[in-house]
Amino acid sequence: MAIDEGTPFGLEVDHSGPTLTVYLWGDLDAAHAPTLEPRVTASLARATTNLVLDVAAVTFCDSFGLRSFVALNDVATARNISLRIQDPTRSLRRLFLVTGLDQVLSIYGTAT
């Protein structure tokens, strides 16, 4: 994955077998979050059984970003796809905890 640090937000999709991994970087905010759900949903194939959102390089997340995670969780659940949030930063993990989304989303990996 090649992260363009000059880009305020980006994503790269890797579809390997039954797993769709989406690498996110930059600011997941009001300006960029609305593009996340349609782009990921369009990438889901019928054979997809696992969706991994790698958020290790997300530098900022606001309520629009959180809403995108919830919406993608709903899409995954409706399609019987397992959604996993991978490697959140300490601040993103804290945001999940404070909002209670750590009880709704499957979050994996340790924050550094």
The answer to whether residue 88 sits within a structural domain is yes
Range of the domain at 33: 11-108
Q: What is the CATH number of the domain that holds 104?
A: 3.30.750.24
The answer to whether residue 1 sits within a structural domain is no
The answer to whether residue 6 sits within a structural domain is no
Q: Tell me if residue 21 falls in helix, strand or coil.
A: strand
Q: Is the pLDDT of residue 86 over 60?
A: yes
CA angle at 6 for the pair 88 and 50, rounded to the nearest 5°? 35
According to DSSP, the β-strands at 19-28 and 9-16 are: antiparallel
What digits encode the pLDDT tens for the residues 20-53?
999 999 999 999 999 999 999 999 988 899 999 9
Could you tell me which residues are beta bridge partners of residue 15? Answer: 20
Q: Tell me if residue 111 falls in helix, strand or coil.
A: coil
The answer to whether residue 33 sits within a structural domain is yes
What digits encode the pLDDT tens for the residues 16-29?
999 999 999 999 99
The answer to whether residue 2 sits within a structural domain is no
Structural contact between residues 12 and 43, judged by C-beta atoms closer than 8 angstroms: no
